[in-house]
Structure 1
Amino acid sequence: MPTATAPARTAIPREIWILVGAAFVIAIGFGIVSPVLPAYARSFDVGVAAASVIVSAFAFFRLVFAPVGGELVSRLGERPIYLAGLLIVAASSFATAFAQSYVQLLVFRGLGGIGSTMFTISAMALLVRLAPPSARGRVSSTYGSAFLIGGMIGPVLGGLLAGLGLRAPFIVYAVALVIAAAVVAIGLGGARLEPAQNRADRDVVTLAEAWRSPVYRAVLASGVANGWTNFGVRMAVLPLLAIAVLDEPWVAGAALAIGAVGTAATLQVSGRLADRIGRRPLVIGGLLVMGTTMGLLGVAQHPALSVGVGLAVLFGLSLLSGVGAGLVNPAQQAAVADVVGHERNGGRVLSTFQMAQDGGAIVGPILIGVVADVFGFGTAFLVTGLVCLVGVVPWLTAPEPLTHHAPVGETTA
């Protein structure tokens, strides 16, 4: 059938490759500062809890500013908000490098979260606008791969830069963001963008319209589950489980790296599959894989297992859970683009989706951490698996967005 191979022949526009390159630079920079940030916070003579607050402040400000970010995108357009967000994070990173107190560090890092949500939401909106409808899955997986690979390279560079002092990585990150902003400003200067693309008078998709779409409601549910699992529990609780299996410094990093490899490998094919067979099968399949593997991860610490077997279980399930994440992400983001449509302004709709993921990423580790303290890692990861399975439920009755992809304003008439 000709339509079965059409998505593979659709070229990804040059403007999207510019955004992909910028995403790679941004992810490297974020990875550069991530390993040194807790130690930098501790250098101001604060405890572990206070150092953790610095890490959480970035995500918290992303969450609370998301509605404003979506409104700004709707009113001013994607490109100016994207550039402003990058420059705000650059200024925040540079100021963080020269913070003189813990309070200053907290404020500067929090301001970076505001800029981060600005460029995240506007980047999503640009991808919706610029991606050909038949290649939305491939575009999402390509963009996600850039972030993932950059995030894997960044910590290695951050560890090397830390030899120059704990402040040096933040300066390098600031410079990298300024360069990325300059490249995007030149590459998306407007020559290839429709004039309406940066105007506030474009037809806006309201949250009420989007909410009437069962696909959008399903995307919000899976977004919470995805943020809870991949951006929250995986990053905050999985390393603690790894240490409980074998208290060696390399184990936690290896578990996270193996999961990232599983995601990166899957992203190479999941985007094309999302464009060929649909978004729904990949989201459902990915959530089932994530739910099963995350739910079983606590087995790695079972006292009946030897350390070697425990490590094999930990690494094997981490790899498979990464595969599940690689299935979910591009299909889920393509489904959001299907809901918004190619010609409409969906800033508020996209910011709400981002809030769903950020909310899961913030609440998940806290609640699962409490469960782990009271009932142990086995129960904690079982609960995480159940959250993934709950995220499947709305998708069971939602239509396939690939074949029902008219913008919500056209389907609800």
Structure 2
Amino acid sequence: MTRDHERERLPGAVWILSSVTFLTTMGYGVVGPALPALADLFQISVTAASIAISGFAAFRLIANVGFSGLLKRWRLRTVLFGGLILQSVSSVLAGLAPDGTLFLIFRSIGGLGSAALTVSATALLLALVPAHLRGRGMSTYFAASSLGAISGPAVGGFLAIANPRLPLIFYGIVLLCAASVAFFALRAAKDIRTADAAGEDGAVVRTRTVAATLLSNPLFIAALFCHFAVGWALYGVRTTTIPLHLGALGFATGIIGVLLTVGAVTQVVGSAAAGSASDRWGRGLPLISGLIAGMIAFVIIALTGDFTLLIIAFILMGLAGGALAAVPAAMLGDVPLGGSGLGVSLYWIAFDVAAIIGPLVSGVIADSAGFQPALFSPQIPLLLAIIASIYALRWQSKRAS
């Protein structure tokens, strides 16, 4: 990447979408610290509390499977706006639920709206950001997401102390604000469609052709493995098992929020640094470094309750989260038809499958064998992602030589 490219401005849509994701992740971040209190309120087990995350992801998965064919026919701004509204309503209803069953149902339904938001925002970024700025564009977007996550857990910790239902209601209100931003500020991008939609006549690239192109590319497979690892470790286990583990160790809800905030702060740094580095020097170094940092973080959390070491672990986890948010998404854009409806949907399907499996596996292990074994479960997907990434990067290097 040249110095001119480093100084080149990002498209305005990047900043608009970044504002939207800031609001949505700020709202979502408030829920994590409330999970132990919600589990107590509804008198549900660790496994059941984990369904608040995995059920949400299950509905995201259902929606993403449907979006794989429909996205190429729908305008992306419309999908984005509709998803935010649905998620807003379901979050408020979850916060007002009279019992644990309805809480889990409404919380899970919100996954439909979340899927619409993530796939449409990703596809818009891939369509609007030039290839030489893609790492910066993705890092800006995910850094904004991390900034939202910084304020979310801290606010959520205090709201949960007053009433564990408040974070969910707050989330719904914030999502409504994000929907307003998306609808009015993205008017210039109202006709943007996915990469496999061709021309004004509505002609589209055949799904079979898209699938063959994607699944024969090791870079795309590596991006899927990386996003699978993120869904399992840095979304599922991080937002369910880790807060519940810390609660079992005796840490107060506010302290849990502080630790999650530390991870979110360093995630901003990790995302910005990894995105720029991947544009300048290639995707490999920041990608592999992030995966290794994530593995080390989970080992520390599993083996110690020392507050200082936990701070170090959350710093490493934040750096890993930043790198693994920006770099695989940028890699997706490097793949022919990676920005297609099928490509973006498969990318998020990999995340959602892992986000379903991760909390359930770790929750069952925690209930039966304790938290320490449960916190070693993320090592498997993280290691598989390293292997797939190394193979893909070598394949890419051979093709370029």
Q: Same fold by TM (over 0.5)?
A: yes
Instruction: Specify the alignment match of 1:261 in structure 2.
Output: 265
Identical columns (%): 31
- Which has the larger displacement, 351-360 or 112-121? 351-360
Tell me the equivalent position of 2:223: 219
Q: Determine which of 352, 359, 374 is the counterpart of 2:353.
A: 359
2:335 partner letter: V
Letter in 1 for 2:317: S
- The answer as to 2:385 corresponding to 1:391 is yes
- The DSSP-based 3-state class of the residue aligned with 2:269 is helix
Q: Quick one: distance in 2 between partners of 1:196 and 1:367?
A: 34
2:206 is aligned with 1:208: no
Relative CO higher for 1 or 2, CA cutoff 8 Å, sep ≥ 6?
2
User: Would you say 1:279 and 2:283 are equivalent positions?
Assistant: yes
Q: For the Cα contact (< 8 Å) 1:339–1:405, is it kept in 2?
A: no
Residues 190-215 of structure 1 deviation map (CA, whole Å, 9 limit, x = unaligned): 36866898875354672232101110
Alpha carbons of structure 1 residues 10 and 402: separation in structure 2 relative to 1, 3 Å: farther
Q: Are the equivalent residues in 1 in contact too, given 2:156–2:257 (CA < 8 A)?
A: no
Structure 1-normalised TM-score? 0.82
Show structure 2 runs of 5+ residues with no match: none
**Structure 2: distance between partners of 1:105 and 1:369:** 18
Q: State which of 237, 240, 246 in structure 2 corresponds to 1:236.
A: 240
**Which residue in the other structure is 2:22 paired with?**
24
Give the partner amino acid of 1:47.
I
How far has the Cα of 1:365 moved from its partner?
3.0
Matched, 1:64 2:68: no
Deviations 1:311-369 (A, max 9, x none): 3323223322322222222111100122155xx85112111111211222221233234
Report the AA paired with residue 390 of structure 1. L
Contact persistence 2:60–2:112 (CA under 8 A): yes
Q: If the length of structure 2 is used for normalisation, what is the TM-score?
A: 0.84
The secondary structure found in structure 2 opposite 1:30 is helix
1:321 aligns with 2:323: no
**Structure 1, 380-389 or 56-65: larger mean CA deviation:** 380-389
SS across alignment from 2:10: coil
Q: CA RMSD in A?
A: 3.3
Contact 2:72 2:193 in 1 (8 A): no
Alpha carbons of structure 1 residues 282 and 400: separation in structure 2 relative to 1, 3 Å: farther
| CA deviation map 1:233-286 (0-9, x unaligned) | 222233344456665555533433332232222222211101111112221221
* Deviation by residue 1:77-127 (Cα, 9 ceiling, x = unmatched): 311111111111122234445545554434332221111111111111011
Q: Distance in 2 between matches of 1:196 and 1:373?
A: 43
Matches within 5 A, 1:96-107: 96-100=94-98, 102-107=100-105
- The one-letter amino acid paired with 2:356 is I
Is the contact between residue 157 and residue 254 of structure 2 (CA under 8 Å) also seen in structure 1?
no
3-state SS of paired residue (2:203): coil
Q: Deviations over 1:120-169 (max 9, x none)?
A: 11111011111121111111111111111112212333455568866555
User: Contact 1:38–1:52 at 8 Å: present in 2 too?
Assistant: no
Amino acid at match of 2:341: G
- In structure 1, what is the Cα distance between the partners aligned to 2:396 and 2:7? 17
Q: Is the 8 A contact 1:90 1:177 kept in 2?
A: yes
Q: Tell me which residue corresponds to 2:154.
A: 156
Task: Name 2:182's counterpart in structure 1.
Answer: 184
Does residue 114 (structure 1) correspond to residue 112 (structure 2)? The answer is yes
Q: Which amino acid aligns with 2:322?
A: G
Q: Which residue of structure 1 lines up, in the alignment, with residue 362 of structure 2?
A: 368
- Whether 1:350 aligns to 2:372 is no
